[in-house]
Every structure is written in structure tokens, then in C-alpha cells.
Structure 1
Amino acid sequence: MLDERVRGVALTFVDNAGITRVKTVPVAKLADAAQWGVGMSPVFDVFGVDDSITTSRHIGGPVGDLRLRPDLDRLTALAAQPGWAWAPVDRWTQEGEPYVACQRRFARAMTERAAAAGLSLRMAFEIEWYVGQPGEPPSPACTGPAYGMTRIVELSAYLDDLLATLAAQGVAVEQLHPEYAVGQLELSIAPGDPVAAADDNVLVRQTIRAVSARHGLQVSFAPVVVAGQVGNGAHLHFSARDANGALFAGGTGPHGLTDRGESVLAGALERLPALCAIGSPGVASYLRLVPQRWAGAFQCWGRENREAGLRFVTGVTGTEDRSANAEIKCIDGAANPYLVVGAVAALVVDALDAGNRLPAEVGVDPASLPDAEQPPRLPESLPEAVARLEADEGLRRAMGDPLFEAFLAVRRAEVELFAGRSSDDIAAATRWRY
């Protein structure tokens, strides 16, 4: 039950540009919204990062309406926004049918597909953000060094408020620390099922934004805030269990992988270039996805290798059964988290019993190897990533043509939007959109 002081409820979904869109209702209308939904045009599926509108074969134009139905199981009073609560929505047609291009529905469908294959998936995002003083050019709110305690001292009241707010909202925080880039922080969320992980991503980011605003600070989750510097990731950690236990521990494969676990990671590694279009979906994303910036720009894997596109985390000796997981690093703050978790779940199920085997592990910084020995680079531009996704028939089938083609249309429109613009212009145009 909500506190009687709550008067409004923010109902959110994330569009194909990675922007969290919203409609709100008074608390008195919440039950009605849960039963019948709140109107919202399907045209938002073809909005770009700058709110320009494109079109696609199935979706586009001003005609039609959808119904936003809040998931009341996730209804949360917003501790940093007195008088407000939040709930994510699923989108339905006016005829009461699930909307085929609903990103949250896609995430749930892929989670259910995994469950039907006997798998329990756990996922969690790391959220990186820049915190600064309002205005241009960007002016960081802290001056301490990367990972330095000085930043915690400088931002002590702000971070205390953030932790208290998240705790009041029932969000389990695993870690909070200063990151590498100027003015950058990172927060890790406890794992949950894929849909819950995506919901938590949305809730945590908007909570960070609200807490920052009441401290007079400005935040950005954009892939890059300043061109040429380390950007903001939103890396995804995932693990899987079947009836026999953890797939990523207790086996005879590399670092204890089971046969099925190795097949899952090998399949995910093979399809990372296509996943880039979903996890690094903006033109600005490829200003971040470069070697030696902690972004995982190479199509390779390694145990605890933070420059590999796929990092295998075994956990502390003795805890592998509950802590072993894989981290996909080609994901940033422009990504729609529901599409990310849904796509990863689809890749996992596709690879589960395929008998894939991992290539040789890369145990060094891939960029330090001679050119002839370096693993392949992941896509170096959005058009390259889009081409790889377009060729991935498995992800097309999983997403369905309406969602898949609307997503690609937005990607192509953003390529055209930023064609010929400098890296500085691209960073400036997107830094406050996320």
C-alpha cells in the first residue's frame, strides 16, 4: 500500500532510443489504469534520441493507440520525490492483446522461454554516471582521483542520501564507488530475474537523477560525456542454473565451466557483434567502445579480463556455485535495458545445448598484442553493428518483425542524424539525453 501522502504515480516504459518515457496518473486513477490502461501512441517506438520521428514497415505515424498498464507488483513510493510513486508498464492494444513491440513483454517472453528450457537466469546491471554542476561545458562535482576516497569525501552527503533513498525503495545495492572518468561514479545492483533487473535499472537511474536534482547537481548516463574520455557503461552480469545446479561452476571446462555453461558463453561470444547494436545502440556509443578504455572493445573472453568483450567472473574460491557469472561489457547508458536482458536471454537459450566451445582465452590486454595476434574488434561504428544485428536471424525471430524493424529504423535514423558531425558535437548532443 502507498503512503497517503502519495498523490501521483509515474508510469514508465523505455523506447527504442533508450529514453525513459512517462505518463502519470493520480493515485485515485491507479486501479483504473491497472485494469484498462492509459493511452499512449505507438509512434514512440520510432522516436529518436533527439525526439525526431522516423517510421518502419510495421510501426510509425500518428494513427493508433496503445494502453499502458502498470505492474502493481513493482509499485514503489519514490523517496526522493515526495508525493510520487513509480511503476513500470506493459503495453497492450486497445483490444486487450499484448502489444507485439512492447520491450518489457519481450524481456518477459525470453525469461519464460529460458524457464521452459529448464533454466533460471539471474542478471544485474552496473550503472555508471557522471555527476557535475549544472551548465555547460561539463564541470564535475568532484575533483578527486579515479577510485579515490577524496570523491567520497567531497560527495559524502549526496551519496549518503542516495543510499538511504535506494534502501527506502527496497533496492539492494551491492557496491558504490568512484570510477575512472572525471566526475564518474558506479553503482552495482543485486541480481534478480531478467525483467526485475531491467526494472531496477530504470528505477535506480531515475532515483539517481532525483537525488542529484535535490542536491543541485546534474547527471548523465550517456555513453560519453566528453569525447575522447572514458564513457559510461551499463555492463550486464548474468548467470544461469539448471536442474543440476550452476552452469558456470563445478564443471570440467575452462575455470570450472560445465559443458552447457561453456556452450552458453561461446554462443554469446560469437554473437556479441550483433548484440552491440542493442547494447551500444547510439552513434555516441562508438566513441566509448574503443580499446583501453574499460569498454571491452574486442570479441574475446577471459577470466577477470576487463578489456575483453566477455569477462568471466569465477568469484572467490569456495563461492563459485553462487557467485560465478559472466559480464557483457558492450552495453552502455543508451541501451534499453529490457531489450538487453531479453536479447541475452535469447542468446543463452539458443546456445544452451548447441555444443559450442570457447576459443582460446585472452589473458592480457588484447590491444597489447601484435596486430596479427589480436582478436577481432567488435563493431567500430553504429552502421557496422546494425548490419551485424540485421543478419542475426535468431534475434529477429526472438524480437519479432515489428519490434526488430522499429528498432533498426531508429538506429538508421540516428546514423543519418549525426552523419558528418564531429565527435565533440555528437557528445554534446547526447550527453543530457540520458
Structure 2
Amino acid sequence: MATRAAEQREEARRVAARLEAEAVRNVALTWVDNAGIARVKTIPVARLADTAERGVGMSPVFDVFTSDDAITESDHLGGPDGDLRLFPDLDRVTTLAAQPGWAWAPVDRYDQLGAPHPACQRLFARRMAAQATEAGLDVRMGFETEWVVTRAPDKHGPAAAGADEVLDYPCAGPAYGMTRVVELSDYLRDVTEALTLQGIDVLQLHPEYAPGQFEVTTAPADPVRAADDVVLVRETIRAVSARHGLRASFAPSVVAGQVGNGCHLHLGLYRDGRSLHRDPDAEWGLAPDARAFLGGVLQAMPALLAIGCPSPASYLRLQPSHWAGVYQCWGVENREAALRLITGAPDDPDGGHAEVKTFDAAANPYLAVGAVLAAGLHGITSRTQMPAPQTGDPGTLGVRERARRGIVRLPATLTEAADRLEKSAPLYEAMGKVLHGAVLAVRRAEEAHFAESEAEEIAAATRWRW
């Protein structure tokens, strides 16, 4: 233990020397709470070696923070007692291109005696990734990040708040239109440049459907790195936006009744360097383990909604016929299915994978990747079968036809999703009672807070939280 601590300290000194040579003065240490908010403590670069060896203190109460900064409690967490230590992942220390003088690192959380904190979401994701590796799987994941950009309010003048806020979009071009790229070409160039300088491999960036909405897709990586990447992508977009006098919202519903922001999770399964989505002898190209893994994800989708769609605002976005995947079904290249199988071109190295359509950016990405891995691994051990794929939009079918095809509507409220998570034995077993209980406590508190709110009030209250 002492040898490892000394090695960490020496590595931290090397990292700190690099940062100082790059004129970095402070390091932002982030974790993501169960409401999906990125929380932070910062240290001077000179303190990095000490922090890598001994950590930085923080209260475990953050595991029961809600999106509006209220504090609830679970059977295991809550109140003023206790302390944890934040340890930065030195392999992920990144100089921030849009925040001169700053670097960033995600943290893992341990108790004061060095034991892993049972509610640490990043350690949960790491544990599930290790179980996948033990099962002989190489899982690659990546996120699509959607956001809406508006002009920042005039700091010298009055700004309407809440439901009375008038959003001032900096572009007027049509959905997916080149006009929108022309209008914001400097801004979008700076987003791409900042991400690239930070080691993020950008695959695509384009206008989306809603006013002022854009999407960036990043390259797949191992599950923990993928979750780290989406946190870094989001905060980089936020920083670039601020430097351009703009404001970025990643909320599931920016304006009630409009298309919201998703954060779709893509995943590919490999074994011994071979894609399990490209089996030439298997139906749909899916090898048996890929079919069982995806079957497990699809079977757990109602409970997974409480992980990937964690806010009442999430359910304003989850509407039929909006490409949000609100029915518990899968399809080959079907953007209305909750689970979309992407075939890709035969020579496309990223072709042949699956996409979870339902998730949004209010989700804690570490919980998202960990829970999907847990559901998929349970599918393999239980040899879960996939139903027949669906074509077309289930929302246009009548109730009887959907019932005949076995297509079920996923939970339409956070209450329904939380109820399904509470009853999910595989997710409870994977998460453990402390993390599972904390997530449920936060979901119940969010439900209660917005129980009497109209859609417009929910969207306005959560618009700038993520």
C-alpha cells in the first residue's frame, strides 16, 4: 500500500510538472451525483501530488443531492456525519483548452480508511466493466451529446427567470440546415478545436431538430473512459459557449412541447478482437452472446429508465413518434425503437453496434454505462432471448396491434421508472444496497418536488441545471 502511494505521488509530480509547463494553475476534480449534476472541488497544481496520495475530503451527503440542490436521505446516506476522500485519476488529467490556466480530472471516491465508497458511481462503472472483461467481452461505448445554445442574458439588464424566460437563439437556420452552421461557424469550430486539443476524437457535429440545437458524437472507448469523455465534452461545450457570449443547455426538455436533448448511448461488443455484431452465420449478424446481452438490456429497459432518464423533465422528452424510443422494442436501424441495431457499412470499423435511444444528459453517465453493462451481463448469464425486431413507428399502431406484437410502452413517468428500478433484482445486486438506495431516494425526492408542477414549470426549473 505504501509502495503504491509513493508511485502515485511520483506520477502526480510528473503530471504537475507538465501542467505547470502548460501554464496551468488549478485542477478541477469532478464527480457526478445521482441527479446527474457534475460537482467539483478544485486544487492548485502544487497540491496535486498530495491529493493523489491522500485525497481531498468531501461529504457523502452529495450522493443524496437533488437537481435543485436540496438534500434528501436514504437508509444509508444523508445528514452531516462522515467524510470521503476524492482521488483524481492521473491518467485522465486534461488541460482545458477553453479554460486557460485550468486542468480537469475525474475522481474515484474512497472512505478515510481507503475502502471504496459503496455509492461511488465511477467505481460502479469500473466494477461492471471488469466483470465484462472477466466474461471475455471487450465492450466499447460512446455517447451522442445534444444541447441547445442561446444568447446569454445581458448581465447589466433584467433577465426573466423561470417560465417567463424568453430564449434568444443565436441562429435561425432550419433543422439540420447548413444555414445554422454558417451562422455559428466560429463557435462550432471552437467547440471542435477545444475537444480535439483535449484528446476527444470527434466523429460528427451537426445541427439538430429543435431551435438552437446541435449534436456532437465522439469515438467509442472503454465504458469508464466513455463516461469520462461525455462529462468532459459537456463542460467543454459549456466553457466555449461562455467565451462566445452564449449559454448551453443539456436539459432533457429545454422548452416543454419541443423536441428535447437526448444523450444516446452506443455500445459494441467484441470477443478476441472479433465483433459480435458481424457474425456472418447469425440472424441480424448477432452472435449468441450479443443477442443475449442486448436481450438483457431490452428486458431491463423499464428499470434502466430510472438511471438514464432520471428527472421528471426526462419524461417531457419521452414522447411517441419523436425518435426518443418510448416503446420496449428493438429494430434494425429503427429510430423509434428503444434499442436500435446499427448495421453500418460492411467496411465501417464502427459499424455493427447498438444504440440505447432513451437516455438523456440528466443521467449520471457512470451509472448509465454501469447499469447497461449489468443488464447485459445478466442477459448473458440468464440466456435472455430477444423478441422479433420491429419496423416502423409503434406510436402509429393501435393499442390492439401493439398488444398483438408484444410492444409495451416504457414508463411514462419517473414514478413508474423508479418503481421498476426498485423491483429490479439484477440492478440491485449489481449496484449494491447503498448505491441503489441512494439513487432511489433521489428519484423519489425529484418526484415529490415536481408532483404539482405543470410541464412548462418543470422545463423552466431544470433548463439550466445540466
Does the residue aligned with 1:143 lie in a helix, a strand or coil? Answer: coil
Residues 162-201 of structure 1 correspond to what in structure 2 (within 5 A)?
162-201=191-230
**Structure 1 pair 19–243 and aligned structure 2 pair: CA distance change class (3 A):** same
Tell me which amino acid in the other structure corresponds to 2:352.
A
Preserved CA contact (<8 Å) 1:253 1:262 = no
Deviates more, 1:11-20 or 1:262-271: 262-271
**What is the CA distance between 1:48 and its match in structure 2?**
0.4
Percent identity of equivalent pairs:
58
Q: How far apart are the structure 1 equivalents of 2:301 and 2:355?
A: 12
Q: What is the match of residue 258 of structure 2?
A: 229
Does the residue aligned with 1:416 lie in a helix, a strand or coil? Answer: helix
Residues 243-392 of structure 1 correspond to what in structure 2 (within 5 A)?
243=272, 245-319=274-348, 322-374=350-402, 375-392=407-424
Tell me which amino acid in the other structure corresponds to 1:305.
N
Preserved CA contact (<8 Å) 1:127 1:233 = yes
Q: What is the match of residue 417 of structure 1?
A: 449
Preserved CA contact (<8 Å) 2:296 2:377 = no
**Structure 1 pair 244–6 and aligned structure 2 pair: CA distance change class (3 A):** closer
2:271 matches 1:242: yes
Deviates more, 1:54-63 or 1:246-255: 246-255
Residues 34-45 of structure 1 correspond to what in structure 2 (within 5 A)?
34-45=52-63
Q: 2:106 aligns with which of 88, 93, 96?
A: 88
Preserved CA contact (<8 Å) 1:39 1:68 = yes
**What is the CA distance between 1:91 and its match in structure 2?**
0.5
5+ residue gaps, structure 1? none
**Structure 1 pair 332–49 and aligned structure 2 pair: CA distance change class (3 A):** same
Q: 1:8 aligns with which of 6, 20, 26?
A: 26
Q: How far apart are the structure 1 equivalents of 2:336 and 2:350?
A: 24
Q: What is the TM-score when the length of structure 1 is the normalising length?
A: 0.98
**What is the CA distance between 1:68 and its match in structure 2?**
0.6
Q: How far apart are the structure 1 equivalents of 2:38 and 2:207?
A: 25
Q: 1:160 aligns with which of 159, 164, 189?
A: 189
Does the residue aligned with 2:214 lie in a helix, a strand or coil? Answer: strand
Q: What is the TM-score when the length of structure 2 is the normalising length?
A: 0.91
Tell me which amino acid in the other structure corresponds to 1:140.
Y
Q: How far apart are the structure 2 equivalents of 1:251 and 1:409?
A: 46
Preserved CA contact (<8 Å) 1:146 1:179 = yes
2:124 matches 1:132: no
2:246 matches 1:217: yes
Preserved CA contact (<8 Å) 1:246 1:322 = no
Provide the alpha-carbon RMSD of the alignment: 1.1
**What is the CA distance between 1:353 and its match in structure 2?**
4.4
Q: How far apart are the structure 2 equivalents of 1:167 and 1:298?
A: 36
Cα offsets for 1:198-229 (capped at 9, x unmatched): 00000000000000000000110000000001
Q: What is the match of residue 26 of structure 1?
A: 44
**What is the CA distance between 1:318 and its match in structure 2?**
3.7
5+ residue gaps, structure 2? 1-17, 154-164
Q: How far apart are the structure 2 equivalents of 1:395 and 1:353?
A: 14
Q: How far apart are the structure 1 equivalents of 2:351 and 2:333?
A: 13
2:107 matches 1:107: no
Q: How far apart are the structure 1 equivalents of 2:350 and 2:257?
A: 38
Does the residue aligned with 2:409 lie in a helix, a strand or coil? Answer: coil
Q: Which runs of 4+ in 1 moved over 4 A?
A: none
Residues 54-65 of structure 1 correspond to what in structure 2 (within 5 A)?
54-65=72-83
Cα offsets for 1:84-137 (capped at 9, x unmatched): 000000001111111111000000000001111111110000000000112332
**Structure 1 pair 159–397 and aligned structure 2 pair: CA distance change class (3 A):** same
Does the residue aligned with 1:112 lie in a helix, a strand or coil? Answer: helix
Tell me which amino acid in the other structure corresponds to 2:437.
E
**What is the CA distance between 1:355 and its match in structure 2?**
2.8
Cα offsets for 1:138-162 (capped at 9, x unmatched): 2222111110001100000001111
Q: How far apart are the structure 2 equivalents of 1:347 and 1:253?
A: 22
2:402 matches 1:402: no
Q: How far apart are the structure 2 equivalents of 1:201 and 1:336?
A: 10
